[in-house]
Amino acid sequence: MQVKISPSILSADFADIGAAISRLERAGADLIHCDVMDGSFVVPITFGAQMVAAIRSRTALPLDVHLMVEHPQTHIKSFAEAGADIICVHFEACKKISASYLKDTLALIRSFGVKCGVVVNPDTDVESVFGVLPLCDMLLVMSVFPGYGGQKFMPQTLKNVEKARAFAESEGLAGLDISIDGGITPQNAAEAVAAGANVLVAGSAVFKSQDMAATIAALRS
């Protein structure tokens, strides 16, 4: 299984985002993970579609947009138009609105020609989203509670990765990317991959390292 690295720009210098994008490209990133936080679904506020459009203008790498927002449907059009390649929405934000909201949101993302995905928090059993995985291009398993970079990896979340990989294999979902996000480092990357993740999101590990290319290579191997 080919492992892809999706560095999170949450740990980048926001005053010089163009330079951060160029560094990631040179260092061998496969995707760029954009953490959108609304101050309600999670406490912090990061950035919105305007930032994603600005990043889009600087790179051809796929932009992997992680929406940590309430009422995600409200925002799909603006992020699609900003140039997102994949948009992932939280199961937990959708389920409090209605039973069909998640499915409808995935269809809405697809209607813009954008790939779609669902995210589960550490305290959500991934089985809750099995019903929609055939409609998804990506499953994003949180290995920390969303909201902040630099948190400690929660090993108990690997269970969600293992269960999802087994389900994807049994259902023949060969195109489903299983991504893991939060506290990923060169030290625990192998465990995440062994559990079945093929996309690794890493913020602090990449941006706080002295040698970004070496860190990305270490994550990949």
Cβ proximity of 220 and 192 under 8 Å? no
Helix residue ranges, H only, 127-200: 158-171, 189-195
Task: Compute how many other C-beta atoms are within 10 angstroms of the C-beta atom of residue 9.
Answer: 24
Residue 64 bears catalytic tag: no
Are 216 and 197 spatial neighbours (Cβ–Cβ below 8 Å)?
no
Q: Residues in the site for ligand DX5, rule: CB under 6 A? A: 8, 10-11, 33, 35, 66, 144, 146-151, 181-184, 201-205
Q: What is the number of the residue whose Cβ is closest to ligand DX5? A: 203
Catalytic residue among 30, 137, 177, 181: 181
With respect to ligand DX5, which residue has the nearer C-beta, 36 or 168? 36
Which of ligand DX5, Zn ion, none binds 186 (CB below 5-8 Å, type-dependent)? none
Q: Which residue is nearest to Zn ion (CB)?
A: 66
The verdict on whether 13 is a catalytic residue reads no
Smallest distance from ligand DX5 to CB 125, Å:
19
How far is CA 68 from each of CA 28, 40, 44, 53, rounded to the nearest angstrom?
26, 9, 10, 18
Tokens representing residue 20 in the block: 């951060």
- Give residue for tokens 């590990």: 205
Q: Smallest distance from the beta carbon of 30 to ligand DX5, in angstroms?
A: 15
Catalytic residues: 35, 181
